[in-house]
Every structure is written in structure tokens, then in C-alpha cells.
Amino acid sequence: MSSEFDFSILHQAARLAVMGHGTAEPNPMVGCILTNSDGDIVGEGFHEKCGEAHAELNALAKAGDDAQGSTAYITLEPCNHQGKTPPCSEALLKAGVARVVIGVRDPNEDASGGIDFLRRNSIEVEIANDEICAELIAPFAYKIKTGLPWVTCKWAQTKDGCIETPRNESKWISCEESQQLVHEERGCVDAIVVGVGTVVADNPTLTVRGAIKHRTPIRVVIDPALRTPLESKILNEDAPTLIVHAEGAETSEFSDYELLSLPRTNEVLDLAPLFRHLVTKYDATNVMVEGGTTLFQHIFKQNLANELWVFTAQNRSNMTPKINMNSLLTTLSTTRIEEEPSGVDTVERYLVNHCK
């Protein structure tokens, strides 16, 4: 049985793991902490970059000889296969680690088996089945299970659930701190998706600005009839763009752009093939959908949302939305996992329950 101390160190390792967000993917984010028999930390590390050392190797390198007889706290079962790097299970054995506490098992069959290997070699192993560690690898696990990326829907709304501002007012609903947070996340995801209504109304650039660009997300516009204005900023050369249209649409004006044709039922595009395409062509793990309401409605109905980030401006209200996001939210079964201030806004994070 894992103790309260075990869980607290595992959670510390989970906080380290998150530092790999944006560079570890498509690998999972993993953290590792080594403690000695007094419970003091002797080494720690996280998986910094896909293709480079795993968290365990980084922690073992920091600990040096102090790894002998230590307990290793690892958010994910150590790999047991020769991938881009050698098996971590063998490295733990070689370093003389005595006990291993694992957050969750590895859902990737090719890499799993670390637990059995360690036990066969007389290392004590405990599996904590920890929720925070499970949440860390949720996008990785979801992609293995479904072939789809983890889809985060993000929007900024007024208290009364409106995401559209009147024509004569600024299009920004959220404050600068919230916008900064979004740019930081954009710099970690593989794609940003919007509906053509947003492109026409706001002419967004959808690039990473004022934040570290760990990756350059591909911009995706859902545009069944190809009505994206050719002078739109989304078509500039700052980042790649994919235009998704309905089968049979007239594409000649867009021959210079990357296009994807999707089938349509009753005028509605089935969006799952788009997300599958983002995995097969770009190995996408995380995709952010940035609106507007019509697109969110389709994504929710088609059960494609995994996570929601809702920025609520506390100082704006009384707009009359076409579709009220507060009502739309109630069409999903969600669990609120975080609520905190973001400048003068609040930001809430929800997990959509079907993908738990």
C-alpha cells in the first residue's frame, strides 16, 4: 500500500512532469523522483523532449551513487523496451534502486512490462493508481485507445455565457493575463481549430505570440463551402494552415493551400475524420478548438471534446448570445477540475466525462 508520503512525492513528480508539456509529446509527460532511506530527495528529472532521455534516466543521472538503495517515484510505469532510448527498467536495476512506486501503468503495450521486469529482479514495486498521474497521461492514453487527439475547447465568455461581442465593441472578452495563458498553451499544442464564422468575423491570426513556441500549431479552419476570404490572416505564411471543406465543394481558388475534404450528413460535417487525420498525418496529441459557438455545438454533439477551458470575464455581462455557452455546457457531462483567477477573469477547467 502506498503511504501518504508516497503520494505526496508522486504528486511532486507529476508537477515536474508537466514541465515537459509541449516538448515531450507525442510521448507522455513523465516525472521521476528518487529518495533515500531518510526520505530525502537524491535525484529528480522529467522527460524533457521526445527522443531524448526519459524521466528515470535524468533522475538517476542527478542521483549518481545515491541511487543505490533508493526509492524511485515515477508517474508512469518505466518502459521496458528499446525505443529511441534504452529500457528504463534495466537502468533502475543497474543503478541499485530498491523500491519503485509507480503512478499508473503504461497503456502502450510496446513499452509496458517494466513492472514485471522489476519484480522478476526482486525490486519491490507498488502501483499507486493515482488520479493525478492518470490525468497527466490522459491525452497519450486517449490517443492510443481511440486514434484521436485530445481536444481542448477553449473560449472566453461573459458571466451570462456570451462569447460574441457587439460589432462596435472590442472582440476581446478576456483580459491580457488570460490571453497570455492561451498563447502559452498554443505554443504546446499541435493544432488550433476554428469555424469559418470566426475567420470571417474576427480575422484571427491563430499563431503563438508573446510565449515560448515549443511547437508551431497547424491552423485548421472548418469551412464547408470554402468561403474563407483569400486575404484572411489565417492564410498567411506565419504557420501552416489546413482548410477543411465539404465533399464536392469548389476548390479551384484554394489550390495553393492544404485542403481536406470531409463527408457531410444533413449539411453537418463529420469531424472525427479530421481529428484522425491530424493524428495520422501530424502525430498530433493535443488540439485546441477556439470556437465559435456553432463549431463548439458540433464538437460537443459529436462527442469529440475531452477538456474545456472557460475564461469568464467578471466585468462583462448582459450581452444577448445566439447560443448561450452556459446552456451549451449543460449538454455535456463534465467534472470541474480547476477554478482559479486569471487577472480579472476566472478560468475553469473541466474534463468531459466520456473520456475519463
Ligand X SMILES: NC(=O)c1ccc[n+]([C@@H]2O[C@H](COP(=O)([O-])OP(=O)(O)OC[C@H]3O[C@@H](n4cnc5c(N)ncnc54)[C@H](OP(=O)(O)O)[C@@H]3O)[C@@H](O)[C@H]2O)c1
* Residue 180 Ramachandran class (φ > 0 left, ψ -120 to 50 alpha, else beta): alpha
CB of 150 to ligand X, least distance (A): 19
The residues in 167-186 that bind ligand X, with binding defined as CB under 6 A, are 171, 173
Number of other CB atoms surrounding residue 122 within 10 Å = 8
Confirm or reject binding of residue 304 to ligand X (CB under 6 A).
Answer: no
Rounded to whole angstroms, the Cα distance separating 59 from 35 reads: 10
Q: Which of 6, 25, 202, 307 binds ligand X (CB under 6 A)?
A: 202
Among the listed ranges 114-122, 125-133, 196-204, 328-336, the one in contact with ligand X (CB under 6 A) is 196-204
C-alpha cell at 353: 466525462
Confirm or reject binding of residue 194 to ligand X (CB under 6 A).
Answer: yes
Give the DSSP H/E element, type plus range, for residue 73. strand 71-76
Q: Of 77, 85, 74, which Cα lies nearest the Cα of 114?
A: 77
Residues 6 or more apart whose Cβ sits within 8 Å of residue 26: 50, 140, 143, 283, 284, 285
Among residues 92 and 156, whose Cβ is nearest to ligand X?
A: 156
What is the residue whose three cell numbers read 450581452? 319
Number of residues that bind ligand X (CB under 6 A): 27
CB of 279 to ligand X, least distance (A): 18
**Helices assigned H by DSSP within the chain:** 4-17, 55-63, 88-94, 114-120, 131-136, 138-146, 176-186, 196-202, 272-282, 293-301, 325-329
What is the residue whose three cell numbers read 491580457? 176
Q: Which of 32, 72, 118, 196 binds ligand X (CB under 6 A)?
A: 196
345-352 and 307-313 beta bridge pairing? antiparallel
Angle between the N-to-C axes of helices 4-17 and 55-63, in degrees from 0 to 180, rounded to the nearest 10: 110
Which candidate in 56, 164, 185, 290 is catalytic?
A: 56
Among residues 140 and 309, whose Cβ is nearest to ligand X?
A: 309
Task: State yes or no: is 56 an active-site residue.
Answer: yes
Residue 217 per-residue DSSP state: P
The residues in 243-282 that bind ligand X, with binding defined as CB under 6 A, are 268-269, 271
Among residues 57 and 328, whose Cβ is nearest to ligand X?
A: 328
Confirm or reject binding of residue 198 to ligand X (CB under 6 A).
Answer: yes
Among residues 188 and 192, whose Cβ is nearest to ligand X?
A: 192
The residues in 110-169 that bind ligand X, with binding defined as CB under 6 A, are 155-156, 163-164
Among residues 66 and 202, whose Cβ is nearest to ligand X?
A: 202
Q: Which of 295, 304, 310, 328 binds ligand X (CB under 6 A)?
A: 295
Residues 66, 43: contact at Cβ < 8 Å? yes
Among residues 54 and 316, whose Cβ is nearest to ligand X?
A: 316
Among the listed ranges 47-55, 111-119, 191-199, 281-289, the one in contact with ligand X (CB under 6 A) is 191-199
Active-site residue list: 56
Q: Applying CB under 6 A, which residues contact ligand X?
A: 155-156, 163-164, 171, 173, 194-198, 201-202, 222, 224-225, 227, 268-269, 271, 290-295, 298
